[in-house]
Amino acid sequence: MIGKVLITGGAGFIGGFLAKALAERGARVHIVDDFSRGRTDAFLRELRDRYGVEILSQDLRNHEASTRLARDYQLIFHLAAILGVQNVLDRPYDTLRDNITLLAHAIDLGQRQHALERFVFASTSEVYAGSLLHLQMPVPTPEDFPLVVPALDQPRTSYMLSKIYGEAMVAHSGLPFTVFRPHNIYGPRMGRLHVIPQLLEKAHNAQRDAAIEVFSTDHRRAFCYIDDAIAMMVAAAQSPGCRDQVFNLGCEAPEIAIGDLARIVIATVGKPLSIMPAPATAGSPSRRAPCMKRMTEATGVVAQVRIEDGVSRTYDWYRQRVFSGTETEVAR
């Protein structure tokens, strides 16, 4: 039985679906967010009104804010961070400073708990970026492959540095922990700066027989639908065998080219459209797929949602809410 749970950054994409899944399992869920990028939308109102999720608007960069939170949480999921490629490129110093400050205050909160069973930290698949660049890194990539730091003067490096440093902080905190490295999690409510909603919007708005611009068409990714990612997170957070371990979070296969993803999107939208290839996005790795053997052996959870089905579900949500203009999406 899951008791009381805190999710930092809980108003965002993964945090919101995690809160819903835990509340449906009977947990008492608190989410804390500063709402600097997110907003209280219909989804969060349903969490509050239907599931009894308590929504706390606080900025955990302020240490005093963390001291006002309860001390009887069974699980703490720390998801709060500056993220998103453009945000990181525009604010590399803030990314380093704020992500470490947020984590330090969350760890302090965890250390004040009376009976904390697990502190769960959301890292990133970006920790493998330097290894892919400088080593012969296998893809799908296992968690124990050596991590290499890219050039420190590159703004994009700031995000992965904050997460590598964060993993070390968590490992030495004395807390019972689990670290996740998410790989291309997608679904409703994730924000249109991500590739699947972005392509869906382009196809939705395009005139029939037009061409949509698609960047990095030959780059390959393994995508994981949000429901599968949440099932893995919840299972691992409760499993004794996942304590003090690092796990990839995602789907190992199929590894799909972005050009082929665009064709799935076009078929989903149902218009006769063509693809206009555009240059590769700067700093984007040519391949990214996680080895999921460790997660599968530890939890028994395997991704179930096919990419075609996940894209269809995502399109239904965006078409009915965001593309129709009736609702503004969460920006995370």
pLDDT the model gives residue 224:
98
Mean pLDDT on 96-106: 98
As a whole number, the mean pLDDT across the chain is 94
pLDDT beyond 80 at 1 = no
Domain that holds residue 45: 4-187+224-250
Tokens 């028994």 sit at which residue?
Answer: 300
CA distance 120 to 99: 15
Q: Work out the pLDDT band at 332, boundaries 50, 70, 90.
A: very low
pLDDT digits (tens, 9 = 90+) for 64-80: 999 999 999 999 999 99
| pTM, rounded to two decimals | 0.95
pLDDT the model gives residue 62:
95
CA distance 73 to 2: 10
Mean pLDDT on 270-277: 96
pLDDT beyond 80 at 327 = no
ω before 140 within 30° of 0 (cis)?
A: yes
Does the residue 37 lie in any domain?
A: yes
**In CATH, what number is assigned to the domain containing residue 132?**
3.40.50.720
pLDDT beyond 90 at 192 = no
- The two beta strands, 256-257 and 220-221, are antiparallel
pLDDT digits (tens, 9 = 90+) for 220-267: 999 999 999 999 999 999 999 999 999 999 999 999 999 999 999 999
Q: Taking CA 40 as the corner, what is the angle to CA 10 and CA 111, rounded to the nearest 5 degrees?
A: 25
Mention every residue, 6+ apart, whose C-beta is less than 8 A from residue 270. none
pLDDT the model gives residue 328:
66
pLDDT digits (tens, 9 = 90+) for 33-57: 998 866 788 999 999 999 999 999 9
Mean pLDDT on 4-18: 96
CB 166 within 8 A of CB 123: yes
Q: From its phi and psi, is residue 309 left (phi > 0), alpha (psi between -120 and 50) or beta? A: alpha
> What long-range pairs does 317-324 form, CB within 8 A, spacing at least 24?
317/187, 317/188, 317/189, 318/188, 318/197, 318/200, 318/201, 318/204, 319/204, 321/42, 322/192, 323/201, 323/204, 323/205
- Total structural domains within the chain: 1
The closest of 45, 31, 38, 17 to 77, measured between CA atoms, is: 31
pLDDT beyond 60 at 21 = yes
Mean pLDDT on 319-331: 76
pLDDT the model gives residue 258:
97
Does the residue 217 lie in any domain?
A: no
Q: Work out the pLDDT band at 284, boundaries 50, 70, 90.
A: confident
**Residue 250 tokens, joined:** 């995602």
**Residue 88 tokens, joined:** 């990181």
Does the residue 18 lie in any domain?
A: yes
Q: Work out the pLDDT band at 329, boundaries 50, 70, 90.
A: low
Alpha helix ranges (H) inside the chain: 13-24, 42-51, 63-67, 85-90, 92-111, 129-134, 157-171, 195-205, 226-238, 258-269, 293-299, 307-320
Q: Return the SS3 of 229.
A: helix
* pLDDT: which is higher, 166 or 330: 166
- The two beta strands, 224-225 and 185-186, are parallel
Does the residue 327 lie in any domain?
A: no
